[in-house]
Amino acid sequence: MTTMTEVEASVREFKMPDVGEGLTEAEILKWYVQVGDTVTDGQVVCEVETAKAAVELPIPYDGVVRELRFPEGTTVDVGTSIIAVDVSGGGAAPAETPVEAVTEAAVEPPAQEAKPAAPTRTPVLVGYGVSTSATKRRPRKGVEIPAQEVVSATVAVQAELNGHATAAVVESRPLAKPPVRKLAKDLGVDLATVTPSGPDGVITREDVHAAVATVTVQGQVSERVAPSAPSMPSLPSATYDSARETRIPVKGVRKATAAAMVGSAFTAPHVTEFVTVDVTRTMKLVDELKQGKDMEGLRVNPLLLIAKALLVAIKRNPDINASWDEAAQEIVLKHYVNLGIAAATPRGLIVPNIKDAHAKTLPQLAQSLGELVSTAREGKTSPAAMQGGTVTITNVGVFGIDTGTPILNPGESAILAVGTIKLQPWVHKGKVKPRQVTTLALSFDHRLVDGELGSKVLADVAAILEQPKRLITWG
């Protein structure tokens, strides 16, 4: 007769993987399997959306689905079990509580979890290869000190400086999940001063919020508040008309984009410059390239030549391809260009980039642009494709917009906005003629790019688009 221990030992808990890029949670978009389905090693079981992209998760073992821990639409912390699989090969899975009825208690894995079938292959969002970690939380070392005792310790240290008695205090690293640590960082809260209320001394979100309060030390009041969260009066519930209004939770890519844009706008001092340019010759070159055999089967459009023009301008003015290191107080000059292309998708704005775009030929650049756009439209852009960008192009012209003042992608030095290209009256060779004209806008970080450098880059891009033969003479 099969014992309960044997049953539990045959169950594998597949946890929400960590891609190792600072992501702490993901939303389950779609389950591809149901309870009772047979799964095989490498089979995709669900699609999740992180703050950067939608990713399909493969299961790392064979078996029968015993339980889906969360329904679609649920946001789950990294490291939390999301699906249980019976790997014993003993037939259909037993009846389980429906996913919709799962409570918080069901999130925790069994107390006696068996070792994984393949301990050297831990699943992550983009493949395998991360080292195996323990499934049980280690006991906390040292003495656990409430916030009041930390304050007392601060007073004692001050007393020592004044020649009074001292108090010895032993501290240890507070226990908290990654999302809680991020919350504390955003709110400016030192976790060492927070009194934990969770099991085993774990600090919860509620503990962090409770710590954002007035702390009195030696009669002096200091207040910790979130720098980016000004106090706003809450709207009364009566103002929400459910019949005529819809509330959409901010999460996933849109939530990450909002946070990144706020951080960029209020960290980097933006300057935007504009130039209107006659691109008639560039448009003719686009038509000629489409007919050439060298570009057959590739995506050839004005954006391709604009991207190439920007790359040439950066080559002529390399100091613009840099980033600002606030901690080290250094400007980091990049000797490569990872060219970002802003893409509007159903899940929100994303900015994948073409790695080492500076080293690509025009056909190679066209191929990379085509792959980037297709992948973004399918919602398959990987987190790695959105990391490490140096400068970005945003093509607002596709929406019929003349120009704009784009916000820098965080960590980058410049972003070029391209307006719509349309026929306008233009003075050409002393006569007013209809010409293809567009307006370019370049935003840059004024901490590391001064007006002269920014102007030179924008002027070079405009000059190349006006006379595209400069791609040869300058490139």
Catalytic (active-site) positions: 446
User: Nearest to residue 309, comparing CAs of 358, 267, 272, 275?
Assistant: 358
Q: Are 53 and 59 in contact (CB under 8 A)?
A: no
Distance CA 428, CA 280 (A): 11
CB 26 within 8 A of CB 50: yes
Closest CA to 425 of 260, 249, 270, 280: 280
Cα 60 from Cα 324, distance rounded (Å): 41
What's the rounded Cα separation, in Å, for the pair 212 and 215? Answer: 9
Q: What does the DSSP assignment read for 134-147?
A: -SSPPPPPS----H
State how far the alpha carbon of 69 is from the alpha carbons of 82, 103, 109, 430, in Å: 5, 9, 10, 73
What pairing do the DSSP bridges indicate for beta strands 339-341 and 343-345?
unpaired
Alpha-carbon span 67 to 469, nearest angstrom: 63
User: Using the 8-state DSSP alphabet, how is residue 297 labeled?
Assistant: T
Beta-carbon contacts of 435 under 8 Å, excluding residues fewer than 6 positions away, are: 278, 280, 423, 424, 425, 426, 428
The 3-state DSSP composition of the chain as helix, strand, coil percent (nearest 5) reads: 30, 25, 45
Question: DSSP label at 116?
Answer: P
| Residues found in the chain | 475
